[in-house]
A and B are shown apart, each in its own frame.
Chain A
Amino acid sequence: MSERTGAAPAFAAPPLPTGRGAGFLAIFGPWIAAAVLLAVLPQVLSSGLALSTLSLMGMMIIFALSYNMLLGQTGLLSFGQAVFFGLGGFLTVHAMNAFTADGPPLPLVALPLVGAAAGLFFGIVFGAVSTRRAGTTFAMITLGIGELVSSSALILRHFFGGEEGVSTDRTGLAPFLGLTFGSQLQVYYLISGWCFVSVAAMYALTRTPFGRICNAVRDNPHRVAFIGYDPQRVRFLSFSLSGLFAGIAGALAAINFEIMNAGQLGATQSGTVILMAFIGGVGSFGGPIIGAILVTYLQVALSDITDAWQLYFGLLFIAMVMFAPDGIAGLLARQQPLLRGRQLHRVLPAYALALVPGLAAVAGLSLAVEMTNRLTVHAGDGPAMSFLHVPLRADAIVPWLVAAILFAGGGWLFLRAAGVARQAYDEALAVVQGRGRTS
Chain B
Amino acid sequence: MTPALELTDLRKSFGAMEIIRGVTLSVPAGERHAVIGPNGAGKSTLFHLISGHYRPSAGTIRLGGETISGMAPHLINRRGLSRSFQITNIFPRLSVWENVRCATLWAMGYRYSFWRNIERLADARQRTEEILTEINLLDRWHVPAGVLSYAEQRALEIGLSIAGNAEVLLLDEPTAGMSRAETERVVALIRRVSEKRTLLMIEHDMGVVFDLADRISVLVYGEILASDTPERVKANPAVQQAYLGLEAS
Contacts and interface: CB of A to CB of B under 8 A. Distances in A.
Interface string A215-253: 110111011111111110110010001000000000000
Interface in B120-169: 120-122, 124-125, 129, 138-143, 146-147, 149, 160-161, 163-164
Interface string B89-127: 111111001100111011100111111111111101100
B109 to A, nearest CB: 10
Interface residues of B, number: 53
Nearest to B102: A216
B204 interface: no
Contact of A220 (B90, B101, B115, B124): B90
A211 B114 contact: yes
A231 B53 CA distance: 13
Interface centre among B106, B107, B122, by most A CB within 10 Å? B106
B72 interface: yes
Interface string B42-66: 0000000001100000000000000
A231 B98 CA distance: 17
B78 interface: yes
B110 A5 contact: no
A28 to B, nearest CB: 14
Given A7-B147, A222-B89, A16 B129 contact: yes
Contacts of A205: 114
A223 B94 contact: no
B212 to A, nearest CB: 22
Contact of A216 (B51, B83, B91, B111): B91
B139 A13 contact: yes
A228 B112 CA distance: 11
B74 interface: yes
A21 B122 CA distance: 12
B118 A223 contact: no
Contacts of A212: 94, 98, 101-102, 105, 118
A224 B97 CA distance: 16
Contact of B147 (A6, A225, A231): A6
Contacts of A231: 74
Interface string A21-59: 100000000000000000000000000000000000000
A17 B103 CA distance: 17
B78 A228 contact: yes
B77 A228 contact: yes
A223 B116 CA distance: 23
Query: Range of interface residues on chain A?
Result: 35 or more
A230 B107 CA distance: 14
A233 B138 CA distance: 31
A401 to B, nearest CB: 47
Contacts of A241: 114
B73 interface: yes
Nearest to B79: A228
Interface in B161-194: 161, 163-164
B73 A213 contact: no
Contact of A223 (B52, B91, B129, B163): B91
A122 to B, nearest CB: 19
B69 interface: no
A238 B103 CA distance: 19
Contact of A208 (B77, B106, B118, B142): B118
Contact of B74 (A13, A19, A215, A225): A225
Most chain A C-beta atoms within 10 Å of own C-beta, residue among B73, B116, B164: B73
Contacts of B114: 205, 208-211, 237, 241
A218 B91 CA distance: 9
Nearest to A233: B112
A16 B72 contact: no
Contact of A227 (B103, B124, B139, B141): B103
B125 A17 contact: yes
B198 interface: no
A226 B112 contact: no
B217 interface: no
Contacts of A227: 77, 82, 102-103, 105-106, 160, 163-164
A223 B77 contact: no
B117 A207 contact: yes
Nearest to B126: A19
A394 B236 CA distance: 90
Which of A209, A213, A215, A219 has the most chain B CB within a 10 Å cutoff?
Answer: A209
Contacts of B142: 13-14
Given A218-B93, A227-B102, A21 B119 contact: yes
Given A8-B143, A216-B102, A207 B94 contact: no
A7 B102 contact: no
A220 B91 contact: yes
A225 B72 contact: yes
5 contacts: A216-B91, A226-B82, A226-B83, A226-B89, A230-B72
Query: Which 9 pairs, one residue from A and one from B, show the smallest C-beta to C-beta distance?
Result: A228-B106, A210-B114, A219-B91, A225-B73, A209-B110, A227-B103, A13-B139, A228-B77, A225-B74
Interface of B: 51-52, 72-74, 77-78, 82-83, 85, 89-94, 97-98, 101-103, 105-107, 110-122, 124-125, 129, 138-143, 146-147, 149, 160-161, 163-164
Interface of A: 5-8, 13-14, 16-17, 19, 21, 204-205, 207-213, 215-216, 218-220, 222-231, 233-234, 237, 241
